[in-house]
Amino acid sequence: MSRIFSGIQPSGELHIGNYLGAVRNWVALQSQFESIFCIVDYHAIIGSFTPEDLRRRTREMGISLLAAGLDPAHCTLFVQSRVPEHTELQWIFNTITPLGELERQVAYKEKAARQEQVMAGLLNYPVLQAADILLYLADTVPVGEDQVQHLELSRVIARNWNSRFAPADAPYFPEPKPKLTPTRRIVGLDGNAKMSKSLNNTIGLLESPDDMWAKLRPAVTDPARVKKTDPGNPDKCPVIFELHKAFSPPDVVAEVDANCRGAKWGCIDCKKVLFEHMNAELTPIRTRAQALAEQPALVDDALNAGAEKARVIARQTIAHVKEQMGLA
Ligand code: TRP
């Protein structure tokens, strides 16, 4: 049976884009596969941050993930830095990763181009990611399109290690494959770019209904619709129609489509229907998050128990790797 691993940066509260693009999928997968999910704080210290802020964002991410439906009874959820084997395996992998493979990673090139001084951690980011996955011998990684190249590198690393340190007929590390998230990427409220905290165009997963409505109301729609009587084209409505497809049931999506093309609903009517369906899914999540925020010890306990579970596997992998390499 497949083992799933995925990671998310501790960016604080989840936004709707992260939720639809990753976490909702994880919640569905946890009951079908053995699943391990990780808040990757070692990845997050590449770049500027303050310790207090990192601690807060890590806890908030834990709350968001638990509230969204990750259930410690069905998956393993933990914080990366609590399992030291991640960095232990990363060092080993650094020694079998060709520099050229790292330098041609698009994510690296884009980030490095914007920085005056590039730290080694930025270059080595995908090696840590490979260690995250392979430490658990995971073969399936639910991620978005932007992570496909990083996973290619994980496969190179798995092959390199296997070819040097495992018998030819019994490879040890699997070659992990991406499992692309079904929801298309969610555009931010400005309609121009991917929803992203740094672009300030997000809807927070835990935002109040009032705040959410204050963002939906003015959000861009098909520019051809100036008056209610102008027929519209839902395919040119990048935010609201996409959110309908993500949150509203199929019959409602069909109704939205017809009423937009037929100029029967104004955009505000359409947004009200969306608002209702978003709240139907998000209200229980907000309620759970509220309860967890009031009991931070529960969140810490859940994450610590997750780290203990993860370490049982992580220790076995490291022991085997060291044994094969003459390090033990
Ligand atoms: N690089 C991933 C991202 O930015 C996060 C991540 C770290 C990850 N380690 C991982 C994802 C392992 C999948 C598997 O989204």
- Summarised one tens digit per residue, pLDDT across range 67-119 is 999 999 999 999 999 999 999 999 999 999 999 999 999 999 999 999 999 99
- Tell me the Cα Rg of the chain: 22
Q: Does 165 lie in the same domain as 284? A: no
The pLDDT of residue 196 is 87
Distance from the alpha carbon of residue 6 to the mean position of ligand 1, in angstroms: 6
The pLDDT of residue 204 is 95
Confirm or reject: Cβ of 5 under 6 Å from ligand 1: yes
The pLDDT of residue 177 is 97
236 is catalytic: no
Nearest CA to ligand 1 atom 6: 7
Q: Does 127 lie in the same domain as 10? A: yes
Q: To test ligand 1's pocket by mutation, which of 26, 36, 38 has the most ligand atoms within 8 angstroms of CB?
A: 38
The residue from 177, 197, 215, 322 that is catalytic is: 197
Please tell me the distance from the alpha carbon of residue 170 to that of residue 45, in angstroms, as a whole number. 36
Instruction: Give domain status of residue 245, yes or no.
Output: yes
Please tell me the distance from the alpha carbon of residue 300 to that of residue 117, in angstroms, as a whole number. 36
Residue found under tokens 């604080």: 12
The pLDDT of residue 301 is 97
Instruction: Give domain status of residue 117, yes or no.
Output: yes
Q: Does 143 lie in the same domain as 12? A: yes
Please tell me the distance from the alpha carbon of residue 196 to that of residue 2, in angstroms, as a whole number. 31
Confirm or reject: Cβ of 11 under 6 Å from ligand 1: no
Please tell me the distance from the alpha carbon of residue 19 to that of residue 264, in angstroms, as a whole number. 31
Q: To test ligand 1's pocket by mutation, which of 23, 45, 150, 197 has the most ligand atoms within 8 angstroms of CB?
A: 150
Instruction: Give domain status of residue 275, yes or no.
Output: yes
Q: For each of the chain's 328 residues, which pLDDT tens digit applies?
A: 799 999 999 998 899 999 999 999 999 999 999 999 999 999 999 989 999 999 999 999 999 999 999 999 999 999 999 999 999 999 999 999 999 999 999 999 999 999 999 999 999 999 999 999 999 999 999 998 889 999 999 999 999 999 999 999 999 999 999 999 877 678 898 888 888 888 889 999 999 999 999 999 999 999 998 888 999 999 999 899 999 999 999 999 999 999 999 999 999 999 999 999 999 999 999 999 999 999 999 999 999 999 999 999 999 999 999 999 999 9
Instruction: Give domain status of residue 254, yes or no.
Output: yes
Please tell me the distance from the alpha carbon of residue 115 to that of residue 88, in angstroms, as a whole number. 28
Q: Does 81 lie in the same domain as 10? A: yes
Confirm or reject: Cβ of 147 under 6 Å from ligand 1: yes
Among residues 145, 178, 189, 142, the alpha carbon closest in space to that of 16 is found at 189
Instruction: Give domain status of residue 168, yes or no.
Output: yes
The conformation of residue 97, written as its DSSP 8-state character, comes to: S
Q: Does 96 lie in the same domain as 214? A: no
Distance from the alpha carbon of residue 3 to the mean position of ligand 1, in angstroms: 16
Instruction: Give domain status of residue 194, yes or no.
Output: no
Q: Does 165 lie in the same domain as 102? A: yes
Instruction: Give domain status of residue 173, yes or no.
Output: yes
| Assigned token pair, 268 | 């505000």
| Count of structural domains within the chain | 2
Distance from the alpha carbon of residue 143 to the mean position of ligand 1, in angstroms: 8
Confirm or reject: Cβ of 141 under 6 Å from ligand 1: yes
Q: Does 83 lie in the same domain as 64? A: yes
Residue 91 — φ and ψ, nearest 5°?
A: -60, -45
The pLDDT of residue 108 is 97
Distance from the alpha carbon of residue 274 to the mean position of ligand 1, in angstroms: 31
Residue found under tokens 């037929």: 262
Q: Does 234 lie in the same domain as 87? A: no
Q: Does 104 lie in the same domain as 59? A: yes
The residue from 109, 177, 179, 194 that is catalytic is: 194
CATH of the domain at 20: 3.40.50.620
Nearest CA to ligand 1 atom 8: 7
Report whether 216 contacts 273 (CB < 8 A): no
Q: Does 299 lie in the same domain as 243? A: no
The pLDDT of residue 198 is 83
| Assigned token pair, 200 | 């300030």
Q: Does 131 lie in the same domain as 227? A: no
Q: Which domain holds residue 284?
A: 207-289
CATH of the domain at 233: 1.10.240.10
Please tell me the distance from the alpha carbon of residue 285 to that of residue 303, in angstroms, as a whole number. 18
Instruction: Give domain status of residue 192, yes or no.
Output: no
Among residues 60, 76, 64, 63, the alpha carbon closest in space to that of 24 is found at 64
Residue found under tokens 């992260």: 18
- Say what the pTM is: 0.95
271 is catalytic: no
Distance from the alpha carbon of residue 8 to the mean position of ligand 1, in angstroms: 6
16 CB-contact burial (10 Å; exposed 0-12 / middle 13-18 / buried 19+)? buried
Q: Does 303 lie in the same domain as 279? A: no
HSE value, Cβ hemisphere, 13 Å, CA-based, for 133: 32
Confirm or reject: Cβ of 16 under 6 Å from ligand 1: no
Among residues 317, 325, 323, 300, the alpha carbon closest in space to that of 62 is found at 300
The pLDDT of residue 70 is 98
197 is catalytic: yes
Question: Cα 312 from chain centroid?
Answer: 24
Confirm or reject: Cβ of 40 under 6 Å from ligand 1: yes
